[in-house]
Chain A
């Protein structure tokens, strides 16, 4: 069965960096676009970034562009999110999700999330 397991969250100070990982299993990782979606405490869902199945393109939400980098290693079935220059407003649960292109576009599987807290 499809599994996505995030790791790497923690408590960090503003201005520092953190790298999140998402280990995928149960499907052919290299054939799917992958995403990071975050949720600040008590708030709604915010899309963060997408990477194409082959890593050939990446796109970002406005609030993280230039600070975050999404990447993947298809030999290790792992998705990453490098987060630099972290701010208090980046505090959130970070989910990885698998993207599916059909007539529409949707996220069919989600991990359980990893919590990032940015605080001095």
Chain B
């Protein structure tokens, strides 16, 4: 069964800095099979990126997703105050399983 490993566990940055988050699947899968979600404290998750690199409706263009050949990455070009949150990657696994990574917390340095 596929496991998603997210790194780092916590990212401490200042507003205006660039954030790069990684998600590595334990098994090969389609390079489109990856979504990213943002969860702010006390809120439900919100879809940011789907099909690895497509921004969801209403998501600012400072968010981007990519595939490096080994890892999926979520990049936030310049952190805004509202971007400090937890980010989860998600993949459809085999046998109708849906897998989430453990999350990366982006916190204010």
Q: Quick check: B50 and A61 within 8 Å, CB to CB?
A: no
Q: Is the interface of B mostly helix, strand, loop or mixed?
A: loop
Of B32, B39, B43, B56, the residue contacting A108 (CB under 8 A) is: B56
Q: Does A35 contact B (CB under 8 A)?
A: yes
Q: Quick check: A45 and B97 within 8 Å, CB to CB?
A: no
Q: Quick check: B100 and A103 within 8 Å, CB to CB?
A: no
Q: Quick check: B44 and A95 within 8 Å, CB to CB?
A: yes
User: What total of chain B residues lie within 8 Å of the partner, measured CB to CB?
Assistant: 29
Q: Does A112 contact B (CB under 8 A)?
A: yes
Of A35, A45, A102, the residue contacting B88 (CB under 8 A) is: A45
Q: Which residues of the other chain, B, contact A61 by a CB distance below 8 angstroms?
A: 97
9 A-B contact pairs sorted by A residue (CB < 8 Å):
A44-B100, A45-B90, A59-B96, A104-B33, A104-B34, A105-B98, A107-B45, A108-B56, A110-B44
Chain B residues in the interface with A (C-beta under 8 A): 30, 32-35, 37, 39, 43-47, 50-52, 56, 88, 90-92, 95-103
Interface size class of A (residues with CB under 8 A): 20 to 34
Q: Is the interface of A mostly helix, strand, loop or mixed?
A: strand
Q: Which residues of the other chain, B, contact A105 by a CB distance below 8 angstroms?
A: 33, 35, 92, 98
**Given known A-B contacts A35-B98, A47-B98, A50-B96, A107 and B35 have beta carbons under 8 A apart:** yes
**Given known A-B contacts A95-B45, A110-B46, A44 and B103 have beta carbons under 8 A apart:** yes
Q: Quick check: A104 and B50 within 8 Å, CB to CB?
A: yes
Q: Does A46 contact B (CB under 8 A)?
A: yes
Residue of A nearest to B88 (CB): A45
Give chain B nearest CB distance to A42 CB in angstroms: 11
**Given known A-B contacts A104-B35, A105-B92, A113-B44, A47 and B99 have beta carbons under 8 A apart:** yes
Interface string of A86-120 (1 = CB under 8 A from B): 00000000010000101111111111110000000
Residue of B nearest to A48 (CB): B98
Q: Quick check: A102 and B32 within 8 Å, CB to CB?
A: yes
Of B37, B46, B50, B90, the residue contacting A102 (CB under 8 A) is: B50
